[in-house]
């Protein structure tokens, strides 16, 4: 199966995405208006067909939308680098580049295993005429160290791909049934194995940037394998900065300022609950301040003011939330729910190197975004430890 060659570029107007989610009320006249975005799409691909039909980039992650929007409205200036795992044809990364390209010194890294999607992302970057290096594409699947890979010098992973559903390529199963998929072998690497090119710009205050290659935001949407990808960066990529670390290495090491997981799943029930708990623990162990939410993807969210309905998972309440998700939520309804996780470095870390993810740029949800997502019982018992 050939997942189509790139189509002619589609022209997308970035602010229409904000209008769709009703986040466009506070646009300021003195902020550079984003230019139209040219996107290369794929033939016979569900995501590309949705973009063509709606005129909107296929990007609905609520934290990502609010973070990029705050940077744009706040006229953020300075170096800014993002890394998106599971970038597909680039909807979210390209949209961010269009929104912020005339403001920040932006570097966007998209990691995408499917060759056609990675190629379309590269062509989109060229079609928009951005400076060289604004968009970098790595054609690979992000994995952890325990994933079985074939090949010694050039490890690969095998993905099952259903026709028209390249965004749902999986290393575990075929989303459309075993006989409906083709097999694709793609390069595999871990976050710890990534080599980051130096960002040409320095932090505004000149501090912190020399010791670190800063990733202001790590965004992952990898079909339920976010935990595996994070485990592949636990030894180096996600480590916190040491307060008095002056280096000692000849080259700067990575510093991830924030992690956004907007599309975590709940449809696998106990396994997805377990993975959520493991993700929260891993990020906390690497020095992040972690927020977690239950998200509705159904009709209640579509009717909400910003097409979003969340329920915050309070500190100490994970067991109760897990109990409600597993025992009070009908199995058939699990596919309409999911998790959202945000992880932030403390304010002022590394001499201000993470300023782009600190207040006032750090995203937050409005009061009207919250409501009941999971069923409640008058009396529930905590889950066993």
The 10s digit of each residue's pLDDT in 286-331 is 999 999 999 999 999 999 999 999 999 998 999 999 999 999 999 9
The Cα–Cα gap between 157 and 184 comes to 8
Q: Which of 63, 58, 117, 110 is nearest to 82 (CA)?
A: 110
pLDDT on residue 2: 45
Q: What is the pLDDT of residues 250-277, one digit of tens each?
A: 568 899 999 999 999 998 899 999 999 9
Q: b/e per residue, 200-213, with b = 16+ CB within 10 A?
A: eeebeeeebbebbb
pLDDT tens for 94-119 read 999 999 999 999 999 999 999 999 99
Provide the pLDDT for residue 148: 47
CA distance 85 to 109: 9
* Tokens describing residue 124: 């989109």
Instruction: State residue 104's pLDDT score.
Output: 93
Q: Are strands 182-189 and 156-161 parallel, antiparallel or unpaired?
A: antiparallel
Predicted confidence band of residue 205 (pLDDT cuts 50, 70, 90): very low
Lowest mean pLDDT among 25-34, 123-132, 137-146, 188-197: 25-34
Question: What's the pLDDT score for residue 280?
Answer: 97
On average, the pLDDT of the chain sits at 87
Instruction: Give the Cα separation of 310 and 296 in Å (integer).
Output: 6
pTM over 0.95: no
Task: Assign 176 a pLDDT band (cuts: 50, 70, 90).
Answer: low
Q: At what angle do helices 91-100 and 62-73 cross, to 10 degrees?
A: 10
């Amino acid at each position: 199966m050939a997942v189509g060659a790139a189509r002619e570029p589609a022209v997308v107007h970035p602010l229409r995405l904000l209008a769709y989610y009703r986040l466009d009320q506070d646009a300021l006249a003195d902020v550079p208006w984003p230019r139209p975005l040219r996107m290369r799409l794929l033939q016979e691909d569900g995501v590309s067909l949705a973009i063509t039909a709606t005129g909107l980039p296929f990007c609905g992650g609520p934290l990502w939308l609010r973070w990029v929007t705050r940077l744009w409205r706040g006229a953020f200036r300075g170096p800014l680098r993002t890394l998106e795992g599971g970038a597909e044809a680039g909807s979210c990364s390209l949209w961010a580049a269009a929104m912020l390209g005339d403001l920040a010194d932006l570097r966007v890294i998209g990691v995408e295993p499917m060759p056609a999607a990675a190629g379309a992302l590269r062509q989109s970057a060229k079609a928009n005429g951005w400076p060289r290096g604004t968009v970098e594409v790595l054609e690979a699947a992000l994995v952890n160290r325990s994933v079985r890979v074939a090949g010694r010098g050039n490890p690969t992973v095998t993905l099952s791909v259903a026709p028209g559903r390249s965004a749902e390529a999986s290393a575990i199963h075929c989303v459309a049934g075993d006989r409906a998929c083709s097999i694709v072998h793609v390069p595999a690497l871990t976050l710890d194995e990534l080599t980051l090119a130096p960002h040409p710009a320095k932090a505004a205050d000149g501090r912190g940037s020399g010791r670190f290659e800063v990733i202001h935001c790590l965004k992952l949407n990898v079909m339920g394998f976010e935990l595996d990808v994070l485990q592949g960066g636990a030894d180096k990529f996600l480590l916190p900065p040491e307060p008095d670390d002056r280096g000692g290495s000849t080259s700067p090491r990575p510093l991830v300022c924030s992690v956004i997981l907007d599309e975590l799943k709940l449809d696998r029930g106990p396994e997805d609950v377990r993975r959520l708990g493991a993700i929260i623990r891993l990020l906390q162990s690497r020095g992040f301040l972690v927020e977690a939410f239950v998200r509705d993807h159904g009709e209640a969210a579509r009717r909400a003011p910003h097409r979003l309905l969340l329920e915050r998972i309070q500190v100490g309440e994970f067991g109760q939330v897990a109990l409600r998700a597993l025992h009070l939520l009908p199995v058939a309804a699990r596919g309409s729910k999911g998790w959202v996780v945000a992880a932030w470095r403390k304010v002022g870390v590394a001499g201000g190197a993470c300023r782009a993810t600190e207040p006032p740029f750090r995203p937050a949800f409005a009061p009207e975004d919250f409501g009941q997502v999971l069923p409640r019982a008058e009396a529930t018992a905590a889950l066993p430890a």
